[in-house]
Structure 1
């Protein structure tokens, strides 16, 4: 089998920039000529084995990062943006998108930002006149989308916050459990904690220094919210420093991101990185065993598994997604090549949708995306009660999965047949960018295919794809 060549020019330039070296000095340390380095940085030549070894030996660089990065998700995001009918037939070919993502990632992000601005303007036509009439009017992404993209392109791993949460968990080890430790920590800060039959899960009174948690909430949710408050009060300086580096465009986005970072801290404190990674490997990623061991919900465990991307100590690269009953994605992250639609719902052929029909069960699926990559996907429903009679029930489904190359590390892969091609169900990302010509669940035609209409013939779809 031929070895796949590694083109990582943008990542190589990023390494050199972070080290503060000129091309000449960097080439000397890598023992290559200046023209050769220049060609590698511009993706005219692949990164050689000699350079890979030099990066590891000279700089202690985690060379697995060379084959990763933002390229795949940038390609996926650009393809979805270009599926917008506004581009018509002017959309570039997939090969051009891959070149752009590899050679000019900053340009790709600028294009995506521009398309988001257009999309939001288009969706707000009713108030466009008023917006354009203001002197300070600007086209900005919505705060929610800006924060979502921040975590998306950080690989959902925030190193400083993750390590701070791990240190906090270590310092709390003298207490019976992390919940007791959190209450004690807040008490030392003069904060009283009460559990009332109240609707909000968490309510904090700054003047009275009183934290009220819902007695209706499950224990793991109460613990999580306790740790969120610990982060907001005790880690405020760290959170603000992280937010300063992110440079959000609005106060709303910064506020949403701050709560997101506090939530990240809470999850990382409940499931500290090294202990959780070791336990995940030991249990072969059994969600129920991990849930019991760390006093967390299955959803919290699945989400945490998708964040284990610490350089030098990475876990299995998972994708994680949560959808509501309408198929809308409410949480998403992927450390794999699989990316999720930014607009609209998920592929209906994906087993996450079937989880609603099978409450209380873990559904397994072998799936293949149009790019030929095969995955194992685990899905289950998540019901969230309001805690009392008459309270509305919130129902979601979550999915966790990874490339089949890592299947041996998952207990859920036992007894599954990976040898038959027919065992892998075809799934896509979005109908507009899915190239499959035969799909009984297709909702709209793909952008890059020509339609053939025959009034005398009616199959599952009212057209054929050429």
Structure 2
């Protein structure tokens, strides 16, 4: 597969500004002419290999910063928004990439505007149920706001990650117990329904006796984050500048969850173990006394500048196909609305409980991926109580497949081994997909009268 050209003008400008250098000085240190640097910073030319090497050698920079996933995330979100029938034409993909690279703040403002429009439309559809009531202002959904916050920072919060790693020491659970003892907080197990309950007045922390040990440890460290790291969490929330108190409250829970996961699986030790085991999830779960979901989610967050792990995507879906967790440090991005592509192996995981499924897949843009999926059941711990079932998936671009034990025995060099998948039917370009649920909104359709194939319509070029 041919190497894609790297357009990273905004990032290049940010690096130069951070170093406090003029274009003339920066160009000289990179070994290029001033006009050439100017063209690269304005995305009129791709960043050359010479410049990439010079950035690493001259400034010791992590050149993976140049190819962060922000542009692809924005492009995917823009394509989905512009597929809305309210727009008569969809700009070419090259124009979207140019806009995302040169004006990311403007494109995000457009996405926020379109989200507000969608919410308004949904409100109008159900207007008959609200007649006679005072209309509420259209506000950003706090869940969507928090989800986008984690989405656009690569789900990696360096300050919280490092604080968790420092706190964990050699034994995160022992460190948590010690922190409770120092503060005079007692810890006990309870048969009550809640997973975790903290009474600040009585200084008592209660965890569920019915929960799995990995879940109890996670909940213990979640509460430790709220008790011992409140200043750090609040400072991070201040920087995020959420639009509502509800979004801030949801994000606080998310940050405490992040701390708990990072403490259970400290960055340095976990990344080294992941490399040593070639990302064998079962071995990592046993070594760190963690669940499969905790391991797979943590693998998707290893994006520390200067010490990055394999860029993974992670997704969790329920049995109806709804995405309940999503994150991607790869080119593959998830749809903001609706479920995941039905051709992904994550949906088949429900049919093969307690087994890992492997899949080689190719998206419409030509990128190839190694996907891994497994079902997860969360037991309620009592007779008659309903279990919760999910499927979780982890994936990476096939160029990293050699670092995963799950690639062994797969013919990654054979183009025929890759199954065609998409992001969601709304924006998928494939015209011959037998699992398509709705037409692509950015393509025109025809309806032949005397001919019927798999779909009741034809997607025109």
TM-score by length of 2: 0.94
RMSD: 2.0
Q: Give the gaps of 5 or more residues in structure 1.
A: none
Check if 1:384 corresponds to 2:378: yes
Shift of 1:431: 0.8
Shift of 1:4: 4.7
Shift of 1:404: 0.9
Residue in 2 aligned with 1:144? 143
Residue in 1 aligned with 2:72? 72
Q: Distance in 2 between matches of 1:365 and 1:140?
A: 40
Where 1:116 maps in the other structure, the secondary structure is helix
Shift of 1:55: 2.5
Check if 1:204 corresponds to 2:198: yes
Shift of 1:455: 1.5
Q: Distance in 1 between matches of 2:51 and 2:416?
A: 41
* 1:154-205 C-alpha deviation (Å, 9 max, x unpaired): 10111001111111112xx2xxx43233122112112111110011101111
* 1:90-143 C-alpha deviation (Å, 9 max, x unpaired): 221212111111221111111111111112222233578899867xx4x43211
Q: Distance in 2 between matches of 1:205 and 1:269?
A: 23
Q: Distance in 2 between matches of 1:60 and 1:49?
A: 15
Cα distance change on mapping 1:213 and 1:37 into 2, 3 Å: same
Residue in 1 aligned with 2:345? 351
Q: Is the 8 A contact 2:84 2:442 kept in 1?
A: no
Q: Distance in 1 between matches of 2:5 and 2:314?
A: 29
Q: Distance in 1 between matches of 2:362 and 2:32?
A: 40
Residue in 2 aligned with 1:116? 115
Where 2:441 maps in the other structure, the secondary structure is coil
* 1:64-114 C-alpha deviation (Å, 9 max, x unpaired): 221234111111111111122222x32212121111112211111111111
Residue in 2 aligned with 1:92? 91
Q: Distance in 2 between matches of 1:80 and 1:186?
A: 48
* 1:32-91 C-alpha deviation (Å, 9 max, x unpaired): 55433322111112223443344334432111221234111111111111122222x322
Residue in 2 aligned with 1:233? 227
Residue in 2 aligned with 1:159? 158
**Bigger Cα displacement from structure 2, 59-68 vs 334-343:** 59-68
Q: Distance in 1 between matches of 2:271 and 2:40?
A: 35
Cα distance change on mapping 1:13 and 1:423 into 2, 3 Å: same
Shift of 1:430: 1.0
Q: Is the 8 A contact 1:80 1:430 kept in 2?
A: no
Q: Is the 8 A contact 2:27 2:37 kept in 1?
A: yes
Q: Distance in 1 between matches of 2:133 and 2:327?
A: 33
Aligned residues: 457
Shift of 1:464: 1.4
Where 1:107 maps in the other structure, the secondary structure is helix
Aligned mate of 1:421, from 415, 424, 434: 415
Q: Is the 8 A contact 2:321 2:347 kept in 1?
A: yes
Q: Distance in 2 between matches of 1:64 and 1:246?
A: 24
Shift of 1:401: 0.9
Q: Distance in 2 between matches of 1:219 and 1:187?
A: 20
Residue in 1 aligned with 2:13? 13
Runs of 4+ with >6 A deviation: 127-132
Shift of 1:336: 0.6
Matches within 5 A, 1:13-52: 13-24=13-24, 26-27=26-27, 29-30=29-30, 32-52=32-52
Residue in 2 aligned with 1:269? 263
* 1:373-396 C-alpha deviation (Å, 9 max, x unpaired): 111111110000101111111000
Aligned mate of 2:238, from 239, 244, 253: 244
Q: Distance in 1 between matches of 2:134 and 2:30?
A: 53
Residue in 1 aligned with 2:295? 301
Cα distance change on mapping 1:247 and 1:358 into 2, 3 Å: same
**Bigger Cα displacement from structure 2, 252-261 vs 441-450:** 441-450
Check if 1:373 corresponds to 2:373: no
TM-score by length of 1: 0.93
* 1:280-317 C-alpha deviation (Å, 9 max, x unpaired): 01111111100010010000000000001111111111
Shift of 1:459: 1.7
Cα distance change on mapping 1:429 and 1:331 into 2, 3 Å: same
Shift of 1:263: 0.5
Where 1:344 maps in the other structure, the secondary structure is coil
Q: Is the 8 A contact 1:365 1:377 kept in 2?
A: yes
Q: Is the 8 A contact 2:191 2:208 kept in 1?
A: yes
Q: Distance in 1 between matches of 2:47 and 2:344?
A: 36
Shift of 1:224: 0.3
Q: Distance in 1 between matches of 2:374 and 2:108?
A: 34
